[in-house]
Chain A
């Protein structure tokens, strides 16, 4: 299994040479290529969800609940719009940063730092899921939002919200498990014996993608 590309030509000519290669087109470890292709398919899933949401929101005759009011948080007796969502966004970005550094330390073969940063990433992910659980509870119990209706306006609001954020939360939860498993293997020296830390980078790709999806959800669902 060679990681070197058949050609060192850059640019479009290089791309056509890669695609016309005898054995492999992508000069990366197979795990990385497969993760990218999985993420591509996931991009289509989330895009279909968001497009469906756009369509539903366009077509409803009832008023769409204002997210900046629905997701407001009361702090010291003052209502701050979208506060919890902003904190969740920051938590996820922080976790992306720690993950990027974990990948970097992985390639430096710094076992302790890589594992510590990955566990930190997983912990931040867990924090995110926890805050999401709080948000869901608040919406279901206090605001009376259901997948089939809510007291604030268009009934589609609930179904779209639970589907999109639920699917994203599921991705985060899976990511936490995935990262924990890889981090434990880093700690036990599994990748030193294997001779490569590329698995850390592949796990990192997944995690950054989860952050990436949140960027779009934040813009289209919460800020619209």
Chain B
């Protein structure tokens, strides 16, 4: 649909816009949604900045990670339009990073082990 008009130069902006509207991307969602997400990202960022004033502990960590994931989720879903892509692309892009969780888990265990070994070796 969008490509029907692609081979010939667009005669008027209205014409081209109408052709693209049929294609779907971008035009369908009004600017409002981006402004809202933008505002939301500001709020989350401010909130995560202020976690720095909290006592270090499990609650602060939970807050940091929650805000981080919320921000990341909104950026990917709305700003990067992932929410409107077909499932095939979503799966191809979002599933492989899950392998990283294995790496992170392994390295956390390994890190603790190395730390304990160093303690035993260097600190008498």
Chain A residues close to B by CB (< 8 Å): 1-5, 10-12, 14-15, 18-19, 25-28, 33, 36-37, 39-40, 43-44, 47-48, 51-52, 54-55, 57-61, 68, 81-82, 86, 89-90, 93-94, 96-97, 99-101, 103-104, 106-110, 192-197, 201, 204-205, 208-209, 211-212, 215-216, 218-219, 223-224
Please name the residue on chain A nearest to B25 by beta carbon.
A107
Q: A47-B100, A101-B34, A208-B79 are in contact. List 19 more A-B contacts (CB 8 A).
A: A28-B89, A33-B89, A47-B104, A61-B118, A81-B53, A96-B79, A97-B37, A97-B38, A100-B37, A100-B78, A107-B25, A107-B27, A192-B16, A195-B10, A204-B80, A218-B48, A219-B68, A223-B51, A223-B52
Which residue from A57, A94, A216 sits with its C-beta under 8 Å from B72?
A216
Judge whether B76 is part of the interface by a CB distance below 8 angstroms: yes
B111 touches A55 (CB 8 A): yes
Please classify the interface of chain B as helix (H, G, I), strand (E, B), loop, or mixed, using the class held by over half of its residues.
helix
Which residue from B5, B65, B75 sits with its C-beta under 8 Å from A195?
B5
Given the complex, which residues of A lie within 8 Å of B124, measured CB to CB? none
User: Given A43-B97, A51-B104, A93-B42, does the pair A59, B114 have CB atoms closer than 8 Å?
Assistant: yes
Please name the residue on chain A nearest to B71 by beta carbon.
A215
* Count of chain B residues near A, Cβ 8 A: 67
Cα A51 to Cα B103 in complex, Å, equals: 8
Please classify the interface of chain A as helix (H, G, I), strand (E, B), loop, or mixed, using the class held by over half of its residues.
helix
Cα A61 to Cα B85 in complex, Å, equals: 47
B3 touches A1 (CB 8 A): yes
A58 touches B89 (CB 8 A): no
Residue among B9, B89, B122 with max Cβ neighbours from chain A (10 Å): B89
Given the complex, which residues of B lie within 8 Å of A86, measured CB to CB? 45, 49
